[in-house]
Amino acid sequence: MKKLSEIFSVRYGHSLELNRLILSDEKNGIPFISRKMGDNGVSAYVAPIDGIFPNPAGELTCALSGNGVLTTFIQQRPYYTGFHIACLNPLEELSLAQLLYYCICIHANRFRFSWGRQANRTLKNILLPSLDEIPKWVYSINLDYYYNASHPLRSEPVELNIDDWKWYFLSDLFNIAKGKRLTKANMTQGDVPFIGSIDNNNGLSSFVGQMPIHEGNTITVNYNGSVAEAFYQPKPFWASDDVNVLYPKFSMNSAIALFIITVIRQEKYRFNYGRKWHLERMEHSQIKLPKKSDGTPDYTYMETYIKSLPFSSQIA
């Protein structure tokens, strides 16, 4: 193991204030890096600043404080930074795979810090694996796997106009079934997805050895816990008793399901811990969808719209 300062030179960023800068666009502007946890730390794109040179591409940026403390990204374009950002320049040439690995290693130390304990003084002393200690799997990863992942399936944009949509009962569109209780004590090890009432990871809580109780190409909606979170399930699965399962009465694919899921989530405000979205209530609930001239849901439009969005090329 080596200290971070033995692998990277460490310096503070520009400490600029975004509200004093001129905003630009992604194509022509310079990335402004903040303590943001997502989007590679990019808060905005700004116009060049007279007398201030952007930091060079190829460096790591690391948040030194805030909720995203030690969030670390590779900056592949010259960039500016806001306050409390450290810039890490490798002391010797490192590959993209090695840099990504060090981003993960640095971030794994965030448990040492909090709002009251920033990383300003101690970042350089964090211990990281030396180059010789980097595991072999790091070099086996195909970094081009997600090349062009942000591309849509369709190049032509599709306009979204909700003025002409129509309300439909969920029970007219789906057969709704309940999940079934399965305690941790009774779970066995296996590869069947177990869908719980959580709000992330596509509802996947774990994998179990029990036989699936619901079919794939369905939608799961939490009626308890994280109420109204909805996910598309492509494979057969087990759903907990806090989850309702929507079996389509129409020909559904992943793109159509993603459209409907987004609409279902807009109903979240109607429900909470005191007002569950149980099966009987769900059967009498309505959602608003695009319609055809004959008044039936326009599933072709839903599919086309989803396939026009960025990253839709990754839809299975």
Report how far apart, in Å, the C-alpha atoms of 75 and of each of 142, 163, 280, 294 are.
Answer: 19, 42, 51, 52
Q: What is the pLDDT of residue 121?
A: 87
Q: What is the pLDDT of residue 194?
A: 97
Tokens standing for residue 271: 């429900």
Q: What are phi and psi of 252, to 5 degrees?
A: -110, 145
Q: What is the 3-state secondary structure (H, E, C) of 87-101?
A: EEEECCCCCHHHHHH
Amino acid at 19: N
Question: For the chain, what are the domain ranges?
Answer: 2-140, 162-314
Cα–Cα distance, 12 to 109 (Å, whole number):
19
Report how far apart, in Å, the C-alpha atoms of 293 and of each of 165, 296, 297, 305 are.
Answer: 11, 8, 9, 18
Q: What is the pLDDT of residue 118?
A: 85
pTM over 0.85: no
Cα–Cα distance, 120 to 72 (Å, whole number):
14
| Same CATH fold assignment for domains 2-140 and 162-314 | yes
The β-bridge relationship of strands 166-169 and 286-289 is antiparallel
State the burial class of residue 161 (Cβ atoms within 10 Å of its Cβ: 0-12, 13-18, 19+).
exposed
CATH of domain 2-140: 3.90.220.20
User: Half-sphere exposure (CA, 13 Å, Cβ side) for 1?
Assistant: 7
Question: Any alpha helices (H) in the chain, and if so which ranges?
Answer: 96-107, 137-140, 170-173, 254-265, 279-283, 299-306
Nearest to 4 by CA among 106, 86, 80: 106
Tokens standing for residue 130: 């030396």
Three-state secondary structure call for residue 80: strand
> Which conformational region is residue 112 in: left (phi greater than 0), alpha (psi within -120 to 50 degrees), or beta?
alpha
pLDDT in tens, the chain (316 residues): 999 999 999 999 999 999 999 999 999 999 999 999 989 999 999 999 999 999 999 999 999 998 889 999 999 999 999 999 999 999 999 999 999 999 999 999 988 887 678 888 899 999 999 999 999 999 998 888 878 888 898 888 898 989 999 999 999 999 999 999 999 999 999 999 999 999 999 999 999 999 999 999 999 999 988 899 999 999 999 999 999 999 999 999 999 999 999 999 999 889 887 888 989 999 999 999 999 999 999 999 999 999 999 989 888 7
In degrees to the nearest 10, what's the CA dihedral of 152, 156, 159, 165? Answer: -80
The arrangement of secondary structure in 162-314, i.e. its CATH architecture, is Alpha-Beta Complex (3.90)
Cα–Cα distance, 2 to 15 (Å, whole number):
28
Output b/e per residue, 254-290; b: 16+ Cβ within 10 A: ebbbbbbbebbeebbeebeeeebbeeeebeebebebb
Q: Which residues contact 84 (CB under 8 A, 6 or more apart)?
A: 15, 35, 63, 64, 65, 66, 118, 120
Q: What are phi and psi of 102, to 5 degrees?
A: -70, -30
